[in-house]
Amino acid sequence: MKTHDLIFSQRPYVLAAQIMAYNSTAIIFTPYGNYWRQMRKICMMELLSPSRVQSFRSVREEEVSDLVESLYTNAGSPVNLSQKIYSMTYGITARSAFGKKSKEQEEFIRIMAELVKLSGGFCLSDMYPSSELLKLISGMRIKLNKLHRASDKILENIVNEHRNKRNQTGGGGGNPQQEDLVDVLLKIQQQGDLEFPLTNDNIKAVIQDVFGAGSETSATVVEWAMSELLKNPELLKKAQSEVRQVFSDQKGVAVSESRIHELRFLKSVVKETLRLHPSGPLLIPRECSEDCRIKGYEIPAKTKVIINAWAIGRDPSYWKEAERFDPERFMDSDIDFRGSNFEYIPFGGGRRICPGITYALPSIELPLANLLYHFNWELPGGLKGEDLDMTESFALAVRRKNDLYLIPTPFHV
C-alpha cells in the first residue's frame, strides 16, 4: 500500500461482482484503470466530498430522529436494535445518493446482505475462476443470477424514476444544486462527457455499489460499538455522561451534528470499534498485476492477495492489551485510519483506500450519540454484559451473527 501500491491496485476476479455488478463495472471490484478512476472520481465529487457530506446533514438528522422516536415507542421492551440500525443507515444512503428511499427498501436490504455474504472471494468458484463446472455444481451462479434479477428490477426503477423526472422538470426538480448521484450519472450519460459511453448497466452498477458499501459497513460499526459498550458498563456510562453533558441544554430533543465534534470519547469508541471489528476484516481482495518481490518472497503476477486488517488491529506487537476494548488508547494518540498508519487500516490504504471515510463518520457518530443520549440500555432476560454473545458472521462486511436485542429505557422522562 506504500512502496508497491500501484502493482497491488488491481482486484481479482470475483464471481459475485461479475454477475451482480454488471461485469464488474461499478467501483469496488472494478479493474484498476481509466473506467474505475472516472467512476470513483464522480462518486467522490457528487456524494463523498466534505461539502456534499455536509449537505446531507438534515437527512442524517431526520433519519436518526425517526430511529429515536421508534425506540421511544418500544421503551421498556426488547427491540431488535441491529435491524433498526441497518434500516436507518440504508435510509440515509438512499436519501443522500438517490433522493428518496425506494419503495422496495427492505427487499433491497435483504439482497445486499446476501450479496455481502457471497462477495468475500472465498467460495470455491472464486478460488478456481476458470472452472465453469465448479460455478455450476456449487450452485453459486444460480443463486447469484436470482439475486441479480431481483436487485436489477429495483435499480431499474430507481433509474427510470430519475429519468422521467429529469425529462419533466430537469435534474434535481429543476435545481442543479439538488441533483443527486443518479441525476449526475444520467446527465453525464446524456452529455457523453466521458471517454467511454456510460450505459444504463454502468449506472445501476455504481448505485448498487454505493448502496451496499455505504450502508452495510457503517451499520456494523454502530452495532458493534453498542455491543462492546453493553459488555463494558463503565465505558457505557462514560460515553453517556459525555454526550449528556455536551448536549445538556437539549432537554430530550434529538442530538444534532452541531457539537458532535466535541464528543472526544465517543470518537475514540468509534476508532476502537473499528480496530477490533473492522467492517471489512480482510479489506477487499487485491491482485498483483506484475511479478514482484517482498521481504524475500516472490509474488507472481495475478496472485490474489488478502490483507488481514482484523489480525493487524489485534497484533500484540503493535497494540498493548490488544484484545481489550479500550477506547482510551485513542484519546491522546495521533494514530488515524486514513491510510498512513499501517497498524490500523480498517479503511484500507493506497489508491484503493475507501473513498467513503468522510461520509461514513457522521453516519456512525450521530446515531451512536443519540442512542447513548436518549436511553439507558439493558440486555433482555437479566443477561449480564459479560455474557453477551459476540460471534461474528462470515461475509465481506462482518456483522453480528445474532442480532442485538436490547431494552431501551428513556433517560428523559
In angstroms, what is the minimal distance from the CB of 24 to ligand HEM? 11
Distance CA 344, CA 408 (A): 33
Least distance to ligand HEM from the beta carbon of 362, Å? 10
273 binds ligand HEM (CB under 6 A): no
- Residue closer to ligand HEM, measured from CB, 74 or 393: 393
Nearest-5° Cα angle at 344, 340 to 348 = 70
Q: Which is nearer to ligand HEM, 216 or 385 (CB)?
A: 216
User: Do residues 300 and 291 make contact, with C-beta atoms less than 8 angstroms apart?
Assistant: yes
Interactions with ligand HEM, residue window 159-178 (CB under 6 A): none
Nearer to ligand HEM, 43 or 407 (CB): 43
Pick the closer one to ligand HEM by CB: 15 or 48: 48
Binding footprint of ligand HEM, residue count (CB under 6 A):
27
Q: What element of type H or E holds 209? A: helix 200-231
Of 122 and 141, nearer to ligand HEM (C-beta) is 122
The answer to whether 280 contacts ligand HEM (rule: CB under 6 A) is: yes
The three-state secondary structure class of 234 is helix
**Residue 257 near residue 265, CB atoms below 8 Å:** no
Q: Are strands 297-299 and 405-410 parallel, antiparallel or unpaired?
A: unpaired
Residues 341-360 touching ligand HEM, rule: CB under 6 A, are 346-349, 352-356, 359-360
Hey, which bits of 241-316 come out as E strands?
A: 286-287, 292-294, 297-299, 304-305
Distance CA 325, CA 233 (A): 12
283 counts as binding ligand HEM under rule CB under 6 A:
yes
Nearer to ligand HEM, 28 or 236 (CB): 28
Of the ranges 60-68, 100-108, 225-233, 273-281, which one interacts with ligand HEM (CB under 6 A)? 273-281
Cβ closer to ligand HEM: 143 or 318? 318
Q: What is the DSSP letter of 340?
A: S
* CA gap 229, 276 in Å, rounded: 13
Ramachandran sector of residue 360 (left: φ over 0; alpha: ψ -120 to 50; beta: rest): alpha
Binding mask 80-119 toward ligand HEM (x if CB under 6 A, else -) reads ----------------------------------------
Which cell numbers in the block locate residue 137?
455444481
Residues numbered 209 to 268 that lie near ligand HEM (CB under 6 A) are 209-210, 213-214, 217-218, 221
C-alpha cell at 6: 500501484
- Interaction pattern, residues 180-209, with ligand HEM; x per rule: CB under 6 A: -----------------------------x
- Label the pairing between strands 286-287 and 292-294: unpaired
Quick one: which of 355, 378, 385, 363 has its CA closest to 62? 363
Which residues of this chain interact with ligand HEM, rule CB under 6 A?
27-28, 40, 48, 209-210, 213-214, 217-218, 221, 278-280, 283-284, 346-349, 352-356, 359-360
